[in-house]
Structure 1
Amino acid sequence: MSDKPELTVSVVTPDGEVYNNKTTLVVCKTTEGELGIMPNHTPVLASLAIDEIRVKTGEDKFDEIAISGGFLEFSNNTLSIVASAAERKENIDTSRAERARQRAEKRIKDARTKHDEKELKRAEISLKRAINRIRISGSNK
């Protein structure tokens, strides 16, 4: 990739940096839809959905990072992603994510029984995060 223009991508959480690399393409899902960023892209600031960040590393290869929402800022060929939680595909503990899914499903059931809308929303977000991590850990991209 060295003969092509590149951008630097950095993913950070409150616990520190999760990912840092140079690339020619990053694909992510914002709250408004999917966004692809290449070198020299127009500066942008956007909220991120609970989904994955895909960073091109080769012809048909991507690094995948599960994120739990956040935001991105791109300018001067630097993409900064700040997320409340982020995890590289190879670091995802699938059994832990599956347990989180089961806990979230139980919390949703309990919240519906008690008609607790706040707890229901929190549990639904937890479920989305768990499902996202399970999906990314098992994806064949």
Structure 2
Amino acid sequence: MAGNFKLKIVTPSRSFFDGDVEMVIIRVSEGDMGILKDHEPVVSPVAIGPIRIKNVDGKFVEAACAGGFMTVTDEQTTIVTDAAEWAHEIDVERAKEALDRNRNRLDSDDHEVDVVRARTSLNRAMNRLRITGIDI
């Protein structure tokens, strides 16, 4: 059995999560990374994607993460992100509107569109909808 470790997830507006966990799976630039107790120390950028947390009771919970960075030390794993949301916190209609708006921007012939910003917003909206279980 791997054991438990301390996980903190913080955003500019709140402490999103602070507790003991068995495992966390988070999206980094190279793909998904799993963290267990006694993981090698690491600092890594975090990509837009889900955060899957295996609680000490062995059950997984999932949240949407808007990107940021992560540090893993002997004492704890800390994820700092612009935004993190549980599925029940997500405004589905707002996420659908953002998805449609950014798809339209990317499909337009307007050369003034900030493509990087539109793609990032599109990815955030898609991630938020996936967390709620909505097919996109």
Structure 2 residue aligned with 1:129: 124
Residue 115 of structure 1: CA displacement?
A: 2.3
Q: Does 1:49 pair with 2:47?
A: yes
Stretches of 4+ aligned residues off by more than 6 angstroms? none
Structure 1 residue aligned with 2:110: 114
Distance 1:20 1:90 in 2: 18
Are the equivalent residues in 1 in contact too, given 2:2–2:37 (CA < 8 A)? no
Q: CA offsets per residue over residues 46-105 of structure 1, 9 Å max, x none?
A: 11111011010233x211110111110010241100011111122112122111111212
Residue 109 of structure 1: CA displacement?
A: 2.8
Distance 2:97 2:105 in 1: 12
TM-score by length of 1: 0.86
Structure 1 residue aligned with 2:29: 31
| Amino acid in the other structure paired with 2:105 | R
More helix by share: 1
Structure 1 residue runs without a partner (length 5+):
none
Structure 2 residue aligned with 1:22: 20
RMSD over aligned CA atoms reads 1.8
Structure 2 residue runs without a partner (length 5+):
none
Residues 75 and 120 of structure 1: CA distance in aligned 2, closer, same or farther (over 3 Å) = same
TM-score by length of 2: 0.89
Percent identical? 35
Match of 1:8 among 6, 9, 27: 6
